Chain A
Amino acid sequence: MGLRADLATIRALMRRALNEILRVPGAAIPGVLAPAIFFLGLSAVFGNLTLLPGFTSESYQSFLIPVSLMQGAGFTGAATGVNLARDIEQGWFDRMLASPAPRPVLLAGLVLSASFRALVPAAFLLVIGFSLGVHWPGAGGLAIALLITMGMAIVAAAWGTTLALKFKSQSASPLMQAGMLVLILTTTAYAPLALLTGWLQEVARYNPVTQVVEAARQGFVGPVTWAETWPGLLALAGLTTLLVALALRGMARTAD
């Protein structure tokens, strides 16, 4: 089909995905508010955990904000899955599948839109965070955090897409949301690794998303270093590859 045509298709699909926010008043609000509510709530409830010896930050909000950014990315990606499930239920997706656009191009259009949409709750969250005293991560730290947010949104969108293609129904949406939430929270979300207890410490130790969270967190709680960054980027790349592969397989199977 040609690269130019593929890029045009991706652009067009991304543009369509934006309609959901731009043309439906209030549709964006839940996705934007939820991470902020959790950020404010969790930091008010568990804020005093910083009193524990060994806690790596004086400000719980600075510690928590990267997790909330990830949550925002997770919700956005799940929403992509829900929208696809709806498109499948209503027959719109058949239109895409019957066209000559290659399946990977269709998938790219879906998941890339999520990465940009995730910047909306992220911006909202950061504005609230900074106004409450979250530590400024520096331009580099901020850039890394946002890049990771976008990457996580792609992972979440690929997950949502896989589920949508498998179940072909919007009733799978709780699974889309919950899956991402569990992935993000079974990390050093609430406390540094040394202060986690029981099963969670073990899981967080091996959960690749822990690396992702730590990489996004570094500017907010300390200096930004390459050593802290590359494990997170690697983990993100691995997750992306895995979930995109699953989604592509799902796409190939739509005709079965």
Chain B
Amino acid sequence: MPAIETRDLQRVFSGGITAVAGVDLQIPEREIYAFLGPNGAGKTTMVRMLTTLLRPTGGSARVAGLDVVEEAGEVRRAIGVALQEAALDPLMTGRELIVLQATLHALPRGEGERRAERLLDRVGLSSAADRRVGTYSGGMRRRLDLASALVHEPQILFLDEPTTGLDPVSRKSIWEEVSKLNREGTTVFLTTQYLEEADKLADRVGIIDDGRLVAEGTPDALKAEIGRPHLEVVLSDGRMDRAEEIMSRFGKPLPAKDGAALVELERGAAGVAPVVRALDEAGLVVESLDLVQPTLDDVFVAKTGYHLEGSEGPEAEVDQAVEGDS
């Protein structure tokens, strides 16, 4: 039984605005599935429908095997939700908030308090637990939001843009937590506008644009579908035409860029060594060599015709934070 399943799911708002124009999804249990798309693509509307906050105007959706409209109450019992706003009451303390969530989920008081303690510890908020949420930083709020979504140990977790607006370190800690949850058996459905997030976290990615699913698959499969990696070579003595001639034996030549000769590699990374050997045999000295993989942005551009915003900058920072100095 899929954890999340939708058939031609639609949502049209009054005024004729179509936010979701017929989406089919089949998400198996224990998968991390990322919905990737720009603002206004329909991501939040999808999440709201799947979490019973919004009624679909067409099609159907089943979460944990339950219909989101007919069995809304039971769906709410099975899911954990952390929405975009990280809407937290600034007058409450972190602990009180999680305990309230526990009460809403009908957990007895003692049990709620025990779980709150464990969860606060897990997300690193133990020391701030009894401070008012109004004093928390953005990263702390997201972590608290995540913790409170977990208090009833849901099978399926919905995260709407969980790291938007966070600094790289906070973002990384959320990713680690989500991965860990998934390893423990939780299905995760998350929406994001960050390519890096989808690429690194998700088992499968669905690209949504203008209310429609335009592509779906594992990050690698999507990238492979778009194209193969290419090699960028710069020679120290500038005999680029010679380089291009040699390289064209190993794959399709691409337009030169910034003084570098480009060739698409049929066999991916395995094709690098032969090229290097051939250049070497021809007496050409390589100054720099770059193997460039297609990115999800390339996938996005191919499917939608434009770049996803936010694909640069924050991602580069996050890369450095995560990769260290590689």
Beta-carbon contact of B92 and A92 below 8 Å = no
Query: Which of B73, B103, B109 is the most central at the interface, judged by chain A CB atoms within 10 Å of its CB?
Result: B103
Contacts of A5 in B (CB 8 A): 103, 106
Beta-carbon contact of A255 and B54 below 8 Å = yes
* B273 contacts A by Cβ under 8 Å: no
Contacts of B88 in A (CB 8 A): 92
Interface residues on B, range: 20 to 34
Contacts of A1 in B (CB 8 A): 106
Contacts of B77 in A (CB 8 A): 100
Instruction: Give B220 Cβ to nearest chain A Cβ, in Å.
Output: 33
Given the known interface contacts A16-B92, A92-B87, A100-B77, the answer about A255 and B106 at a Cβ–Cβ threshold of 8 Å is: no
Task: Tell me, in angstroms, the Cα distance from A90 to B106 when the chains sit together.
Answer: 24
* B322 contacts A by Cβ under 8 Å: no
Contacts of B100 in A (CB 8 A): 12, 16
Beta-carbon contact of A100 and B104 below 8 Å = yes
Task: Tell me, in angstroms, the Cα distance from A92 to B148 when the chains sit together.
Answer: 13
Select which of B52, B86, B106 is within 8 A of A98 by beta carbon: B52
Task: Tell me, in angstroms, the Cα distance from A99 to B112 when the chains sit together.
Answer: 15
* A19 contacts B by Cβ under 8 Å: yes
Select which of B73, B83, B86 is within 8 A of A102 by beta carbon: B73
Interface residues in B267-305 by Cβ distance below 8 A to A read: none
Beta-carbon contact of A255 and B53 below 8 Å = yes
Select which of B52, B53, B104 is within 8 A of A9 by beta carbon: B104
Task: Tell me, in angstroms, the Cα distance from A90 to B133 when the chains sit together.
Answer: 14
* A20 contacts B by Cβ under 8 Å: yes
Task: Tell me, in angstroms, the Cα distance from A95 to B158 when the chains sit together.
Answer: 12
* A96 contacts B by Cβ under 8 Å: yes
Query: Which of A1, A12, A20, A100 is the most central at the interface, judged by chain B CB atoms within 10 Å of its CB?
Result: A100
Task: Tell me, in angstroms, the Cα distance from A20 to B132 when the chains sit together.
Answer: 13
Beta-carbon contact of A100 and B55 below 8 Å = no
Quick one: CB contact mask for B83-125 with A, threshold 8 Å, 1 for yes?
1111111011000000111011110010000000000000000
Task: Tell me, in angstroms, the Cα distance from A5 to B51 when the chains sit together.
Answer: 22
Beta-carbon contact of A92 and B52 below 8 Å = no
Instruction: Give B160 Cβ to nearest chain A Cβ, in Å.
Output: 10
Instruction: Give A85 Cβ to nearest chain B Cβ, in Å.
Output: 14
* B159 contacts A by Cβ under 8 Å: no
Beta-carbon contact of B104 and A101 below 8 Å = yes
Contacts of A9 in B (CB 8 A): 103-104, 106
Quick one: CB contact mask for A22-65 with B, threshold 8 Å, 1 for yes?
01100000000000000000000000000000000000000000
Contacts of B101 in A (CB 8 A): 95, 99
Instruction: Give A48 Cβ to nearest chain B Cβ, in Å.
Output: 46
Select which of B73, B86, B99 is within 8 A of A100 by beta carbon: B73
Question: Main SS of the interface on chain B?
Answer: loop
* A8 contacts B by Cβ under 8 Å: yes
Beta-carbon contact of B89 and A92 below 8 Å = yes
Contacts of B132 in A (CB 8 A): 23
Beta-carbon contact of A8 and B109 below 8 Å = yes
* A175 contacts B by Cβ under 8 Å: no
B88: nearest residue on chain A (CB-CB)?
Answer: A92
Instruction: Give B74 Cβ to nearest chain A Cβ, in Å.
Output: 8
* B81 contacts A by Cβ under 8 Å: yes
Quick one: CB contact mask for A242-256 with B, threshold 8 Å, 1 for yes?
000000000000111
Contacts of A20 in B (CB 8 A): 91
* A133 contacts B by Cβ under 8 Å: no
A2: nearest residue on chain B (CB-CB)?
Answer: B106
Instruction: Give B210 Cβ to nearest chain A Cβ, in Å.
Output: 23
Task: Tell me, in angstroms, the Cα distance from A91 to B51 when the chains sit together.
Answer: 14
Task: Tell me, in angstroms, the Cα distance from A5 to B74 when the chains sit together.
Answer: 15
Given the known interface contacts A1-B106, A2-B106, A91-B83, the answer about A98 and B51 at a Cβ–Cβ threshold of 8 Å is: yes
Instruction: Give B84 Cβ to nearest chain A Cβ, in Å.
Output: 8
* B131 contacts A by Cβ under 8 Å: no
Beta-carbon contact of B103 and A256 below 8 Å = no
Instruction: Give B9 Cβ to nearest chain A Cβ, in Å.
Output: 14
* A202 contacts B by Cβ under 8 Å: no
A88: nearest residue on chain B (CB-CB)?
Answer: B87
B99: nearest residue on chain A (CB-CB)?
Answer: A12
Beta-carbon contact of A97 and B91 below 8 Å = no
Given the known interface contacts A92-B89, A98-B76, A100-B77, the answer about A255 and B104 at a Cβ–Cβ threshold of 8 Å is: no
Give me 25 A-to-B residue pairs in the complex whose CB atoms sit less than 8 angstroms apart, sorted by A's number.
A1-B106, A5-B106, A8-B109, A9-B104, A9-B106, A16-B100, A23-B132, A24-B91, A91-B86, A92-B89, A94-B53, A94-B85, A97-B52, A98-B51, A98-B79, A99-B76, A99-B101, A99-B104, A99-B105, A100-B73, A100-B76, A100-B77, A101-B104, A254-B53, A256-B55
Instruction: List 9 A-B pairs, minimum CB-CB distance, nearest first.
Output: A91-B87, A91-B85, A5-B106, A99-B104, A100-B76, A92-B87, A100-B77, A12-B103, A255-B55
Q: A2-B106, A5-B103, A94-B83 provided; 12 other pairs, C-beta below 8 A?
A: A12-B104, A16-B89, A16-B92, A19-B89, A19-B91, A90-B85, A91-B85, A95-B81, A97-B53, A99-B76, A99-B101, A255-B52
Q: Using a CB–CB distance below 8 Å, which chain B residues touch chain A?
A: 51-55, 73-74, 76-77, 79, 81, 83-89, 91-92, 99-101, 103-106, 109, 132
